[in-house]
Amino acid sequence: MITDFYRKVAHRHGPRQKGPTLFLALTLLLMVVSCRYSGFNREDTPVMMPQPKGTDTHYIPTNGALPFLHSLKDIVLGNPEYGAVADMLNSYGALPYLDQLKDITLLLPVARTFDDGTCAQIEDIYTQGGTQGIILLLKEHSAMGRYDSARLLSRTANKEFEVGTAANAPIIFSYREDAFYVARDKTSEAMIIMPDQRGTNGVLHGITQWLIPKP
C-alpha cells in the first residue's frame, strides 16, 4: 500500500520529489508499526479464560497475572476452591456483602475442607439469624487491615498478635512450623493454606475451616 502511494506521488511530482516522498512513506510505515505494537507485550498480557458456569461474566487469568475484575467477591466467584463458600453465600443472600468490604483481610475455608458437619453448622447459623447471621459470620472472618504473608510474618515473629474484625471481636494470628494460623479462641483454630489473594478491597486467605467456636 505504501509502495503504491510512493509510486503515485513520484509519478506526479517527478524524480526530484522521490527523496521527500520516500521519507514520507517510511514515516507512515513507522507510524503503522508503532500503533500496532505500542504498549503491547505478549508475555505480560494475561491469558484470560471463562470461569466455571454460574459465575456470569467474570474472568480469571491462567498465567498468574491479576484478572481484569478482582474484587474479593470476584476472587471468590472465580476460584473453584471457594465454590462451596460462593454457593452457600449466594443461597443465603449474603454474597453482595463481599462488595461492601474495604481494607479487609478476609479468611474463608476452601472447598476441600468442607464436610457435612460444617454445612450443618452454617445451616444452624442461618436458621437462627437469617442472612444477617451469615453476614455476621463473614464479619467475624474479616480482619481489619490488609495482612499479606509478609506483614503477617513481621507481626508474628516469635509471638501471637490480635487483630480486630468487622464484628468488633478479635482474632489471633500466629506462625509456627512454617505455617500461619488464625483463631478466634483455642477451639476454633485454622491453618492458612491459600495465602495472599489480593483484591481491590482487601486480601483473601484460604483457611482449613470456619472459625466457629466449639461448645
C-alpha cell at 6: 510512493
pLDDT band for position 19 (cuts 50, 70, 90): low
C-alpha cell at 85: 463458600
Question: How many whole angstroms separate alpha carbon 100 and alpha carbon 202?
Answer: 11
What pLDDT is stored for residue 35 in this prediction? 52
85 compared with 119, residue with greater pLDDT = 85
pLDDT for 70 equals 83
Report the phi/psi class of residue 44: left, alpha or beta, with left for phi > 0 and alpha for psi in -120 to 50: alpha
pLDDT of residue 146: 94
pLDDT at res. 73: 94
Please count the residues of the chain. Answer: 215
**For 180, which DSSP code?**
E
Report pLDDT for 50: 36
- Which residue in the block uniquely carries the three cell numbers 461492601? 100
Cα distance between residue 55 and residue 87, in whole Å: 10
Q: 197 with 206: CB under 8 angstroms?
A: yes
Binned at pLDDT 50, 70 and 90, residue 59 comes out as very low
The predicted model gives 174-197 an average pLDDT of 91
Domain ranges of the chain: 2-37, 48-207
Confidence band for 18, pLDDT divided at 50, 70 and 90: low
Longest Cα–Cα distance of the chain, Å, equals: 97
Q: How confident is the model over 130-168, as pLDDT tens digits?
A: 999 999 999 999 999 999 999 998 888 768 899 999 999
- Residue 49: pLDDT band with limits 50, 70, 90: very low
> Could you tell me which residue, 66 or 118, shows the higher pLDDT?
118
Is the domain 48-207 a CATH 3.40.50.2020 member? no
- Structure confidence at residue 111 (pLDDT): 87
Percentage of residues in the chain with pLDDT exceeding 70? 67
What mean pLDDT comes out for the span 37-52?
Answer: 37
Which pTM does this prediction carry?
Answer: 0.67
Query: Whole-angstrom Cα distance, residue 140 to residue 186?
Result: 15
Q: E-assigned strands of the chain?
A: 48-50, 59-61, 104-109, 142-144, 161-163, 171-176, 179-183, 190-199, 202-207
